[in-house]
Structure 1
Amino acid sequence: MSPKPSKATQISDGRYLVSDLCAYLEGYLPPDQVAECYRAYLFGAEAHEGQKRKSGEPYIYHPLAVARILAEMRMDHKCLIAALLHDVIEDTQIPKEEVAATFGDDVAELVDGVSKLTQIDFKSRAEAQAASLQKMLLAMTRDIRVILIKLADRLHNMRTLDAMSAEACRRISRETLDIFAPIANRLGINWIRVELEDLAFAHYWPWRRQVIQRAVQRTSGARIEMVSMVETALKRALLQEDIQGAVEGRRKHFYGIYRKMRDKSRGFSELLDVFAFRVTVDRVDTCYRVLGLVHNLYKPVPGRFKDYVAIPKANGYQALHTALVGPQGIQIEIQIRTEDMHRVAESGIAAHWMYKNGGQAGSNPAALAADWLQNLLEMQREAGNSVEFLEHVKVDLFPDEVYLFTPKGRILSLKRGATAVDFAYAIHSDVGNSCVAARIDRRMAPLSTTLRNGQTVEIITAPGARPNPGWLNFVVTAKARVNIRGHLKNIKLREARAFGRRLLNAELALFNNDIDRVDAIRLAAYLEEAKLKDVDDLFAEIGLGNRLAALVARRLIDAESEDPAGESGIGESGADKDLHPHRLAIRGTEGMVVSFARCCRPIPGDDITALFSPGRGIVVHRSECRNLGGLEGKKDKLLHIEWSSEPEGEFPTEIRVETGNRRGALAVVAGAIAEQGSNIENVQSREKDGMTTDLEFLILVRSRAHLACIIRRLRRVPLVTRITRVTRS
């Protein structure tokens, strides 16, 4: 019943014969398509002439084996042709255009999608690997057959991995466990996932696999008798109820046993459900009849029943799972499914090709795969680079799922630990970007609430709302993380451009000029020299601190213009800077490109100086801050600024309040601060000598005058003996 490839058609050294492949293809493809596949084999054999694998065999045996695996999955002839040619673009001199001219554009696109990026120089192996995988995954979004070819390619490579070095074996096995086995699982192709996991397990942790294998062998004698007993009991029960069905007992694969031991921190002897049984019947309602039957036969284990028929997994998998206490008190697992469910469970998205003329067996996993591929496209658009994209994909490939409902009854599956924000992004990116609150089971709840199985979640949005950077601390799904980061990057870029324009105009004002009056030819020449696309990119570079506005201004002004050296504010002493006529005014609303140093926490009214920080913009310090150090060594990074006449918002600052060591002192001091209209962000208490206590408050104030009001009020508190403003080194 399972569509696993048979190895009966392999010759003694493990290689497939082209005659066997063609004979197999004649069983489901018309003769002209079989002839096209044979022509592709000849084309590939000629292209790979003289090339050998690490094992020493001719290279063509590898694509032939890949094609055979896909043939067993009953893939169409174009997919098989692409499998036979999947390495010609990467490993031979044949270009994509020649493949397209000979076998068509569809085949060429499939071959190109599987090929690695070999023409680009990357900084590291990790970056090259990430870029190649990103290319493959994006090609998969255009045609799912790309990943099916790649999975078959990886499966044959894993079967023949012994020819590689020990280091290569470990690296390839780790990549298989991290990327390819989870992709096979995500697409529902169970038999490929299981074989990839066991092969990778054997090469990555050979000793651990041997230990588990020996443990299984030691218990096999007694367990085999138990399996036979349970199978007989199940078959007899089905016969008594006149139910037509197949019963199959099996041992779980070694990596599955190891993963359960690792995840549950249990030894092998503590795993009771190493053996599982599958009952396959004809109809869905019969599944539930069989469930009642087996629960009457053996006692069910509380909390171990899962209905994946009513609520399928994200990859389309459907079955009833139940755990029972079997003979001799041994716990067993039983899976109940229909024949169509079994096909989807083993073949997943491939069932769309294998059984597409026999009903709708493949439509559900195909639709679910399409949703996942759409999410991949969104992640790619928002990710900063290929390495970041790959990390998000890895997160997305390991869902331990929870099932949730929208108010209209739509079911969404999310990674376990998902929050209301993850749910919002799962509905749509725009919903996530504008969410402000959530109702969980009709009750208001924070957006950070972790969701549980079966809850109904309603997301409340507001126009103008935008993602909060703090969400990154609790979201768990890749889609939410990518969208939040992408949105914040766009906000930062917009703020950097606006701020960079202000910085540049402040410097150009020294020449009685501004950016709108700068000579267009000189500006274009500078942009070309700096390799910037347009003036917005220049503003962003300045706003992010990657270029100094003063130096850019000098380059943009005619060299014959008066050089205002000593007037630009760069490198002036603290005494001279008061003569500067064009200081930049800070309002406090510049966003992420202007930050306020935590060491001295400047507030409006303080004398301030700024330092350029590449990638961050400018960091504002109080002018007397000790962390500014020797200003002479930082002339190229200094920027003399001032507060706007009308600063906006509230600014954090720290004060230390020394009080007598009395009960209730903290409450009295906090109450006095609150009276003056200040919020307390944080407070720390430290006893000094048994008689006095230091209370350090992080408070929000509007200005230096507001802080003075707070300090005056605190001095009237009898317990307070001393108040100082905190500056940290």
Structure 2
Amino acid sequence: MQTNSQEYWQALRTIKAIAQKCGDEGDRIFEAFEYASALHKDQKRKSGEPYITHPVSVAEIIAREFEILDVTLLCAALLHDTVEDVPHVDLSDLRKRFGQAVADFVDGCTKIGLGHDGNSVYMTHSKILKSASRRLGVLIIKLADRLHNLRTLHYLSSAKRQKIATETLDIYAPLAAKLNIYHLKRELYNLSLMYLYPRKSKKILNHINQISNDPKIVEIRSTLEEALRKLGISAQVRSRCKGLGSYYNAQRKTLEVHNAENYVDFTIVVSSEDELLCYEALGIVNRTYPPLPRTIRDFIASPKANGYRSLHARFHHAGQNYLVKIRTPSMDTWAQYGILRRWREDKEFFREEHDDEIAEFLREIAEYQGPSTHRKELLRYTEGEEIAVYTPKGDLYFLPKESTVLDFAYRIHTQLGDHCRGGLIDGKKVSPVYPLYDGATVEILTTTEVLDVDPEYETICKTLRARAGVQKLIQRRRRFYAEKIGREIFQQIITLLGLKAENANFESMELILKKTGSKSETDLYVKLGQDVLGPEEVRRIVSEIISVERGGFLRFQSRQLAVTIGQIDRAVHKFAYCCKPYPGEDNCMALLSERGVTIHKGECTDAVTRHSIPPDRLFRVDWLLDDPWDSPIVFRITVPGVSLGRLLAKWPDTSEYEVIELAQKLDRYGHASALCLARMKSLRDAKNFFDALTRDFNVSIETYFREKSMNGDRP
């Protein structure tokens, strides 16, 4: 970048103004600016401006708009793209020149360089959030970075604009809401939605403009001011129209006028820090405009997890609903600036240790291993409507609307969630996935056994902690089953090499573990059972080691390896949609993965042609037909293209099942399909039922579940 260019001098003036506000430490900001300018000197933005204008703008947003004058954070903001965009610079260079804290901030902001696929983006978000759980400044820099990118988004291609705007809606705007930075959240939503829905945004902005000039708003504000004045309460009354974000339904991906719960909020800020004045003001508001039933919320006595405090009341007037928020001046400052306010008061507050609730949330969302869609959904829930739920002792917890008993159990303690078998609400026993209502008192019922979770629980639960807990329990089950399968496969390999299966634990096992990169025998079996290690690779390693030990070549009998299946578990066993096999069907094969076992018909070519699975990784299924099931299993079955009457005419005449439900549905062309919910007690019962049914019809298993895992009342 030419130091005599207009852009350079403008950037320098900005840095000078920031440095002056930082006092004696301002020289460090000049040093960071000069260093970043030199590194970015040959780079330009899509607008044609020198690249250094971007990090300077990020630092300016932090200093002027966020009002944070932390020199370390501002230096990191100026340097946040250096490691990512300048090949010859690494973190050690920054550490030597600017210190460990600056290097840590920059490291947290640096993308993982694995390309531009979905997985690398997911991992980058995980890294940012994990770093922010230790140093919140990482997230502050990323939010300022995203805000400036959105303000200059018009220079990019349409595809990139769509991508950045979508990512902002899914990740950054909800995070700004979680930190309670109101003005930032509002602008992130407004800018993103205007790029994603330009026509609808224009229409809704016109709607917002009309509302802001509505005489009814002036009338309500004046009425509230007069009512407060008459009873001697000095307060400021403000009205505020909702931004575009309130009109956006993230679940349906729609931007519509009717999506907003209400169009205008009123804020009453009493003149002193006396909290009792807020309650007096609430009484006056309720007498002036009677509240809607069950809408008064006391966030002063019970603050939100992010520190937000106010009294809320909703009322209906002249055909519209309105929300009134009542607070003290300090509460009002927090409501607008959130976590930034505490940073201003104490620069060191978020340097090493910060609010446990925020840190734990960021760490949990970073470590969550579910699909990216689930992570986005969980972030969305954090800013949605909440319900208040009580323990029998009267302890209050806030949860996202439609949370379940299991969400509540995990919110109290992880162990309580792991052992939850249901709840007691108003003397009624309910299942772990029973939805809670606002004001409910819930007693968690536990068992000594670990919860037998169904995979469906993960999508039913609304909180991060519950979903992560369910996911860990499912992964534990899958790992346990993978170890069992891997042990079987290993023993078959040993047998086919002419060795005795009971001699699998021979002295050379340590060498086998080393060659396969396994920490223990259990680790080796799990890798085999999850197809991380292929049987052919293990056979070759074992053969080489034993051949050297015995001084001779081991002959391997070529035979397809098998896995045995008796108990079936939806968290582990999946019946492939391509060929639609069923439990106990003859001539089936299995594919192994970290997500469990997928069963195909033996003649199915999908695994080989589409997924290029080598023959040694296709396993014969040996069904253990005489092993009883621990509990009955309910199958949801579809018989496509068949009417209910035709199905009943050839219904299997056996007593080995119980029909729970029979129904018929029509597609949009009027073609009928029969639906069935049937309960079976053993694998042999299931085989006999499906053998008989598939003689005349094509049958598809939509899903199945163990009956005991779904007991109690369900939504």
Under TM normalisation by the shorter chain, which class is it? 0.7 to 0.9
- 2:693 & 2:43 partners in 1: Cα distance? 75
Q: Residue 404 of structure 1: SS of its match in structure 2?
A: strand
Determine whether 1:111 maps to 2:106.
yes
Q: Which amino acid aligns with 2:476?
A: N
Question: Which residue number in structure 1 is paired with residue 363 of structure 2?
Answer: 377
Q: Which amino acid aligns with 1:207?
A: R
Structure 1 residue corresponding to 2:335, chosen from 336, 341, 345? 345
How far off is 1:96 after superposition? Answer: 1.4
CA distance in 2, matches of 1:159, 1:696: 55
Is the Cα–Cα contact under 8 Å of residues 247 and 255 in structure 2 kept in the other structure?
no
State the alpha-carbon separation in 2 of the partners of residues 157 and 697 from structure 1: 52
* Aligned amino acid, residue 488 of structure 1: I
Change (3 A) 1:440 1:293: same
In structure 1, the residue matched to 2:435 is 450
Aligned equivalents of 2:388, 2:405: Cα separation in 1: 13
State which of 346, 349, 355 in structure 1 corresponds to 2:345: 355
Cα distance in structure 1, aligned partners of 2:681 and 2:161: 60
Match of 1:66 in 2: 58
Look up the match of 1:400. 385
Other-structure match for 2:85? 91
TM-fit CA distance, 1:184: 0.5
> After superposition, what is the alpha-carbon deviation per residue over 1:315-347, rounded to whole angstroms, capped at 9, x for unaligned?
322222334456x77655432111111111011
- For residues 145-164 of structure 1, the C-alpha deviation after alignment (integer angstroms, 9 at most, x for no partner) is 11111111211222222222
Q: CA deviation at 1:533?
A: 6.0
Note closer, same or farther for the CA distance 1:472–1:152 as it changes in structure 2 (3 Å cut): closer
Report the CA distance between 1:518 and its aligned residue.
Answer: 7.0
Number of equivalent positions: 643
Q: Map Cα deviations across residues 50-90 of structure 1 (whole Å, 9 max, x no partner).
A: 43222222322322222222223332222222222222222
Give the distance between the partners of 1:306 and 1:294, measured in 2 at CA. Answer: 14
Give the aligned residue type for 1:680.
E
Q: How does 1:455-604 map to 2 (within 5 A)?
A: 455-469=440-454, 470-472=456-458, 474-510=460-496, 511-514=498-501, 515-517=504-506, 519-520=508-509, 523=512, 527=516, 535-544=521-530, 549=535, 552-553=538-539, 556-557=542-543, 560-561=552-553, 563=555, 565=557, 568=559, 588=567, 599=581, 601-602=583-584
Aligned partner of 2:78: which letter? L
TM-score by length of 2: 0.76
**1:614 match:** 592
What corresponds to 1:317 in structure 2?
308
Distance change (3 Å), C-alpha of 1:553 and 1:195: closer
Mark the CA change 1:185 to 1:645 in structure 2 (over 3 Å): closer, same or farther: closer
Structure (1 or 2) with the larger CA radius of gyration: 1
Aligned-partner Cα distance in 1 for 2:255–2:148:
33
Structure 1 regions of 5+ residues with no counterpart?
A: 1-11, 571-582, 655-664, 687-693, 712-722
In the alignment, the residues of structure 2 paired with residue 172 and residue 151 of structure 1 have an alpha-carbon distance, to the nearest angstrom, of 13
Contact 2:592 2:598 survives alignment (8 Å): no
User: 1:277 and 1:226, CA in 2 relative to 1: closer, same or farther beyond 3 A?
Assistant: farther
Deviation at 1:313, TM superposition (A): 3.0
636-645 vs 302-311, which moves further: 636-645
Name the CA distance, whole Å, in 2 between partners of 1:483 and 1:111.
32
In 2, Cα distance between equivalents of 1:349 and 1:43: 30
Shift in CA distance, 725/650, structure 1 to aligned 2, threshold 3 Å: farther
Q: For 1:436 and 1:205, how far apart are their aligned partners in 2?
A: 45
SS at the partner of 1:243?
A: coil
Determine helix, strand or coil for the equivalent of 1:170. helix
In structure 2, the CA distance between the partners of 1:725 and 1:245, relative to structure 1 (3 Å rule), is closer
Aligned residues of 1:504 and 1:550 also touching (Cα < 8 A): no
Residue identity opposite 2:584 in structure 1: P
Q: What is the letter of the counterpart of residue 505 of structure 2?
A: D
What is the one-letter code of the residue matched to 1:194?
R
Give the Cα separation in 2 of the matches to 1:142 and 1:696. 52
Q: Is contact 1:421–1:432 with CA below 8 Å preserved after alignment?
A: yes
Name the counterpart of 1:680.
Answer: 658
Distance 2:104 2:260 in 1: 50
One of 59, 76, 95 as aligned partner of 1:82: 76
Percentage of identical aligned residues: 25
1:39 to 31, 46, 63: 31
Task: Give 1:284 shift.
Answer: 1.3
Q: SS of the residue aligned with 1:516?
A: coil
Find the residue that maps to 1:614 and give its secondary structure. Answer: strand
Q: Within 2, Cα distance between the matches of 1:644 and 1:374?
A: 47
- What is the deviation of 1:725? 7.4
Using the TM superposition, give the Cα deviation of residue 496 of structure 1 relative to its aligned residue in structure 2, in angstroms: 1.2
Paired position in structure 2 for 1:121: 114
Describe the SS at the equivalent of 2:505.
helix
Distance in 2, Cα, partners of 1:699 & 1:297? 59
TM-aligned CA distance change 1:40 to 1:447, over 3 Å: same
Q: Partner of 1:196: helix, strand, or coil?
A: helix
Structure 1 pair 590/319, CA: closer, same or farther in 2 (3 Å)?
A: closer
Q: Secondary structure at the match of 1:174?
A: helix
CA distance in 1, matches of 2:261, 2:209: 15
Most deviating of 457-466 and 340-349: 457-466
Instruction: Give 1:506 deviation, angstroms.
Output: 3.3
Query: Secondary structure of 1:466's match?
Result: coil
Counterpart code for 1:493: R
Question: Is the 1:506–1:584 Cα contact (8 Å) retained in structure 2?
Answer: no
2:139 to 109, 127, 147: 147
Deviation, structure 1 residue 428: 2.3
Distance (whole Å) between structure 2 residues aligned to residue 59 and residue 697 of structure 1: 62
CA distance in 2, matches of 1:650, 1:276: 56
Within a 5 Å distance, the mapping from 1:410-429 to structure 2 comes to 410-429=395-414
**Aligned partners of 2:82, 2:675: CA distance in 1, in Å?**
72
Task: Pick closer, same or farther for the CA change 1:417–1:546 going to 2, 3 Å.
Answer: same
The TM-score normalised by the length of structure 1 is: 0.75
Query: Any idea what the Cα deviations from partners look like across 1:529-552, whole Å, max 9, x if unmatched?
Result: xxx666544422433467665884
Amino acid at match of 1:252: K
User: 242, 248, 262: which one pairs with 1:252?
Assistant: 242
Encode CA deviations 1:647-668: one digit per residue, 9 max, x unaligned: 67478799xxxxxxxxxx99xx
What secondary structure does 2:338 align onto?
helix
CA distance in 1 between partners of 2:452 and 2:592 (Å): 25
AA of the residue aligned to 1:496: A
How far did residue 504 of structure 1 move?
2.1
Q: Distance in 2 between matches of 1:591 and 1:265?
A: 37
- The higher relative CO (CA closer than 8 Å, separation ≥ 6) is in 2
Q: Which amino acid aligns with 1:287?
A: C
1:134–1:390 contact (8 Å) kept in structure 2: no
